[in-house]
Amino acid sequence: MKRLLTWVAGAAGGLAAYRAATRRKPEPSPGAVEDPAAQLRAKLAESRADEVEPDGPDARRRAVHEQARSALDEMRGGDA
């Protein structure tokens, strides 16, 4: 009796695994879901359009270093 129950349980599990593996996922209707990669590309392009570096990377580097120096001065107490 135990063997029969084991075989039935194994067959049921195998059938469930087969059905889960072969189940077709419903295809989304065209136009209903836009490509996520395209959405991200558009969002990135929009954010890049907002950023403008008028003087180029050297000016940006100088500004970042100046901010770092002022932060260090503030941490040291402003005396240095």
Distance (Å, rounded) from C-alpha 12 to C-alpha 6?
10
Is 71 within a domain?
yes
Map tokens 């932060």 to a residue: 71
Q: Which residues contact 60 (CB under 8 A, 6 or more apart)?
A: 53
Is 75 within a domain?
yes
Can you give the residue range of the structural domain that contains 71?
55-80
pLDDT the model gives residue 75? 93
Is 44 within a domain?
no
Q: Which long-range contacts (CB under 8 A, 24 or more apart) does 13-19 make?
A: none
- Judge whether 53 and 46 are in contact, CB under 8 Å: no
Is 74 within a domain?
yes
Higher pLDDT, 27 or 72: 72
pLDDT in tens, 20-54: 888 877 776 666 667 888 889 999 888 887 766 66
Is 28 within a domain?
no
What is the sign, positive or negative, of the torsion defined by CA atoms of 28, 30, 32, 36?
positive
pTM over 0.85: no
